[in-house]
Structure 1
Amino acid sequence: MKEPIYESNHRNIIKYLNEYERHIHYLNRLYVVLAETNKAIVHCSTERQLLDQICRIAVEYGEMEMSWMGRPSEDGRFFVLSSYGSSSTEYLKDIFISSSCDVSEGRGPCGIAFRENHMVISKDYLKDETTQPWQEKARQYGWRASAAIPIQRGGQPYAVLSVYHSDPNIFDLKMINLLGELAANIRYALDRFDMNRKRIIAEDRLRLYAKVFEHSHEGIIITDIKATILSVNKAFTDLTGYSEEEAMGKNPNLLSSGRQDKKFYESMWKEIQATGYWQGEIWNLRKDGSEYAEGLSISQIVDAQGEITNYIGILSDITQRLQAEKDLLDAQQRLMDIIDFLPDATFVIDNKGKIIAWNKAIEMMTGVKKEDMLGKGNYEYSVPFYHRRHPILIDLAFNYNQEKANHYNSIRLTQEDVLIGESITEHLAPDNTYLWSTASVLRDTEGEVMAGIETIRDVTQQRVAEAQIQHLAYYDALTDLPNRSLLKERVNEAITEAKEKEESLALMFFDLDHFKNINDTLGHRIGDLMLIEQAKRLKAIFKNQYKHQEVVFRLSGDEFIILLTNVDEDGAAHAAEKVILEQSQPFQIEGHELIITPSIGIAVFPGNGLDFESLYKCADIAVYYCKQGSRNSYRFFNPEMQLRSVRQVQMENALRKALEREQLRLFYQPQISLTTGKVVGIEALIRWQHPEFGLVSPMEFIPLAEESGLILPIGEWVLVTAIQQMKNWLDQGIAPMTIAVNLSAVQLREKNIAQIVRQLLEEANLPAEYLELELTETAAMSEPEKAIELLDELHSLGVSIAIDDFGTGYSSFAYLTRFKINKLKIDQSFVRRIGTHTEAEVIIDSIISLTQSLNLKTVAEGVETEEHLNFLREKGCGEVQGYYFSKPKPAEEIENWLREYIK
């Protein structure tokens, strides 16, 4: 005797529940692994101890058969860092696993995970081609699944953690995500060990420096962060006369002569705090009261974490050197008084080319001291400012030569022998430095040249800022692709050229399908990295064809524009197909393998427009219809799209006035109990009667209402109208029943929807038991946790809850059991195939069995024939609605129908 279908379905459900419980069990064990691993990270003092603990935890708590961690040596062969499991010693003995892709043992899970830095899952180890070299051993131990998890250290591939399980297909998406968290925790622990080692090395080095400084010929003084002397060396004692015991615990100001005021020391410490270093000359007093000139440098000492722990000062007696320099400076002081306070870097040469003045600004610009430059000639002074092949501006001022002047970016000669030029040098910094210079000659009363003076100003920041502003104006900050501003220029230029050459061009609007899902699930950072890689891929596609032309532009978000010149429709179609083919290749983003499809709209010049705005608009319309259709494809613009777009805009505008003009109406369709034959409910269905468009289908205007936000006031109007109508029927003595009202996905996102329903029921004085709220399966499962919270609130009001169109979406059984619902409505697409489609009948039977097991009511929609009715009655369906009983009708007509039916 053949087993009844409902018993088979019941057994399937029990099997599903068992599988689900088993999966939950493994997930829970893996959560325990994460928790125990975190404990091990906190308590393990050595790296080996930690790795042993991790392998042990994976087996004992994660119920893995065996786990081991290994890393490749210089020859690519993996060696074992740690392992655990009864079979680990035997399995790993003399095993050969490589990180090289040149050998078969390197093309297994471990080798791939290490090379490509992503997790490799073998769902059936004994059937996986990549595990063939090790399957014979694995079969002995009963392993059926494995995971190879790459471990990073210091941002680089370090090792691979491999775990083995006896259950095939155990590693689903949630298990993989948890294993990814485990890898991240291990990476953190290894990085922490490295940081501790660096700290210990730094501390040892500091102790070494403390020993070395005693042998220095320079005086050395070490203080704490409050400038209290902790230690001095012998050279310090010889220079100052203070012993270490006398200096300890004192402030270095015990040496102060009083020559330097408070501001001097404030400036000195300000520079130390800003740069970590100060060097200069000061006058101090020895213990015996004698004054001396001291060369002093002060540096910060920081620990491994970058925190300041001490200051070190190195000092020497420079009294004799200063006196010699003073004699030289006195001779040149008058000239330096003139130029020393100029804000621009300035130097002066005599008529023999010798430098006779070098001001402070030029010292700061070049780092070259005045004493190192005075008296120099033979172009030695040119090195800090100019590329060697450039002539010196001051030489051009002495003897102007147009050919040499061409080496400057710009140069001009003004009146009074003043020359102005701009050049680029690579000598002041790693990057180019832009210098703006003026040079002029100084003549005596006879007109003879006495000297030449040049001033130099670093205008690099100004030029870089100008370039950045220019770049930002025309290029996207994220992808560095040209933006809409540059797109418009390039398209207009291309159109002008196409007109002259009588050629065509194509504008392709490229939009990623469901890109929002990446941002919502993986975060905007992964989304941004995805867009960067997308930009690189699109550029690479057209790199060879358009070598000197900007082809790919970014508008915003996931929208790109591709400009193809000298192509017709066939060429554009070929390019679009190539883009779609390339897009089928997965993106590797930080361990995530992502595949995302494109929708492409194409407009062609001159057929679809003669200017940028026209072509852009047409391409935009084309991509919209592509996304409305199959996606992952391309469409050319055609005039019919324009007409539909115009109608859509007209309908949206008209819909905004539909409520106030009372163009919306409610129709009602009864729901019949198959047990009693009575009317147990009635569904309120919205219709739009427009004077120009006629009776507009909800399938057309409801999506418009949801996109525009109009669904909220429309939805509230439906609730008010339906609730009041039900109250009127009850007052007229019509048999009690529920009235069902559909809630859209937009309404479900409103936080106060439950409060609105409560208020409307109270205002109409209608008990909540007479109201049923329907939401589609897709809307409920789009954000299941929020849906659970909302349904709890609505259920607490006492209203009935139904899941509409059940079977057309994807419902998690776990979530379905958590939803506080009363009914499941079988979608009419299944009911209409009764008698002609066995699969649809099986689905209906399964849904009815499911609702019975969950103690829910079942309502079948779209019942139109006696065959539909008999099948549903036989399968145990509770309620039905459809044309077999009544079409949706206005309130007056359905009221007459109800009275007639009750008779």
Structure 2
Amino acid sequence: MDKRVYESIMKTNKKTDEYEKHIQYLNQLYAVLAQTSQAIVECSDEGSLWDRLCRVSVEMGGMKMSWIGRPVEDDRFSILSCFGTGTEYLDGLYVSSSAEVSEGRGPTGVAFRENRLVICQDFLEDDHTHLWQNLAHHYGWRASAAIPLRRAGQPYAALTVYHFEPNIFDQKMIELLEEIATTISFALDQFDTNKLRIKAEDRLRLFAKVFEQSNEGIIITDLRANILTVNEAVTKLTGYTESEVIGKNPNILSSGRQDQEYYQFMWDTIQATGHWQGELWNRRKDGSEYAEGLSISQIVDAEGMITNYIGIFRDITLRMETAKALLDAQQRLINIIDFLPDATFVIDKERKIIAWNKAIESLTGIKAQDMIGKGNYEYSIPLYHRRHPILIDLALDFKQEQANHYQSIRFTQGDVLIGESTTHHILSGKTALWANASVLRDSQGKAIAAIETIRDVTQQKEAEEKIQHLAYYDALTNLPNRVLLTERVNNAISEAESKKETLVLMFLDLDHFKNINDTLGHRIGDLLLTHLADRLKAQFGNQEVVFRLSGDEFIILLPGIDTDRVVCLAEKLLSEHSQPFHIEGHELTITSSIGIAFYPLDGLDFETLYKCADIAMFFTKQEGRNSYRFFSPEMQLHSVRQLHMENALRKALERNELRVFYQPQISLATGKVVGMEALIRWQHPEFGLVSPLEFIPLAEESGLILPIGVWVLQTAIHQLKSWQEQGQPPMIVAVNLSAVQLRQTYFPQIVQQCLKEANLPAKYLELELTESVAMSQPHKAIAMLDALHALGISIAIDDFGTGYSSMAYLTRFKINKLKIDQSFVRKIGNNSDAEAIIDTIIGMTKSLNLETIAEGVETKEHLDFLRERGCGEVQGYYFSKPKPAEEIQIWLENWSNNLEGRITKERERSC
């Protein structure tokens, strides 16, 4: 054999051995991570958690020895737990967290003090470990890792592990160590949460005392407004005892004075804002009526779900009757005096006020009794700028030449002056007024009086200014918009060209901003954008360099700046934006992705620079977000690939590259197949098997999801009809519905046409939409689901439990089934929280008379748990993976043939 060939083979074998050993080490750390998560579930205190962690690090993680310690008062580490070869090394060990001593500058001290992972690839050669190298050599330790364990984000303890092989920790292993640290830190925070829960229970007992002793009536209801409890004050105010009202609606107190629209507005306000406050006339048990001041609020749990309503009221009968009497008297006075809609006053020829109506009192805040008979311009101060005569004065002795000094005044026939002023001042500040003044003359033509009518046109002026402002500024954030950006960039390019300088365009886009809109609503999302805009403006002072394009996209224009300053600015922006925003009780942390383009390097005009910055921003998101990237030509090539993939997707249907796979849905009560979920696949000759996670977003963004969705619907419906004609037992076919399809007003007609073409009754079709899609635009979702439900089609909510559904909206959706997300099912047997969520969902569906189906069933333990909890239907790999129709046909025959035997076994097992 040639010597070079032999050497090449030997090198290849060596690399293979090294790769296999690396995989082994990674698997060991994955095992440690899994056992750490298990320990968190099982351990109720820190001590047992430390012991488990040290043990699994050695027994499963391949470490020689591990120990956990934390500094005490003198900064010296106290050993909390240890395990492995050489633990006696820890006896009398002096490691400090202080940088002032040599013992504090080792890996463990640095990791704790600087709150970061410290890796020592060769313990025997590292300059920072010389104090402990003799002991390490004795026990055969070559590499170490010191990991800070955080509590509430701050270092609380440190885990130190030792390995027998140098240079063992690569980037992947380091990331796993970081993930282990994060998992342990979560457990520490959970311990603290339990302490807070106990404190909350004490506060709950205190609330119960306040509830009973309050002088105000307090009523607590369930979500259907059925009374759950009342305090003693309710009995005193209404005459009803607690036993007489429990389980009833508060409308038993209604006097009938308020109509249904009043109550509808009240509940609409509660659902929209979470609170309503107003006044009602109600009736006591003895039949007497009384007025009450009532406040109704939603009670929400820790996850923001509405659980109850609380009403607090007091008797305000006397105040209401007094106010009504006063209002009646005032109204009679207004009807007599205030008959002119505009503010009007009259002066005589001596310029003394002889009339001052109610409207002008409202405008100026000055009563008639303070103005009648006054002259010498005393009345001019509240309305007009002191340096100029008022319009009514000019009307009395108007001369045409005076018009040259007052451009806003014009003279018309009949001795009428019409003017407009922005220098008027009334109580609310500077106000724009329109006015006209007419002269009253005697039979000789002499002026004897003048009348002026004034109208507040401030809102009209502000509207005009606002329209002008909106042309160039964003209405939500008040930042310059794209129109002004284009103008500013073109000007900046011209200036940069003349000065031979650079120009930087930074494209800033928020990461996962859609999640905030979907979960907390667009109002919270808008508030977040305004807070972010304020933060951006504050960073640049008075410089108008930040622009909002649309949504969560911002542009920063920076002339005359070099690369180093751009880097510093980008890092500062990322740091500032990662700080939490506190909005209406929500602590929101959101990161940004930044793309950067330079003039003239990347483009010579606005559109080119914008496109390059956009592409760079897209790559930032692709590579993990919360960072920045400079544009490069390679990015353009990648964007071209994305375009090719989108073009290929446009032809996928006509080239027959799309497939529909089916996964069975099983009834736990009968063991029979009750449905098939239709799932799309794309096999492309060049790109290979493209993940739906990649091509479905492309389809939604490009609008291709509409024809693809219709094709999947037609294919699934015709396949089910074919199975029926072949004698398969009755079942439904479930087809997923995208957000884009949900927005199609004519989608129900499409579905109806597909059913008609296949001659399939609507009851055999089930449409699935995810919880987040349903809640993104709940009002539109309600209308669409109503239309589909009217056709007889079954509706299911997919991935239930992963979003933030409003129970009020959920009860308004005409749905038939809730689908428990597989992320909960897969945790059965390992996570009590997930099991509790499943219990809650199943219980809720029963109370709402809905069906329940669980996806992701992969083990018998999953199946048994769901059967015991009363889940109706299941699907998952335990029964079958998604398969093409022809393979499912064979599977159905085998399942049907073996059904009776399985039912007999299940009965024997249950006995």
Q: What is the TM-score with the length of structure 2 in the denominator? A: 0.48
Q: What is the TM-score with the length of structure 1 in the denominator? A: 0.48
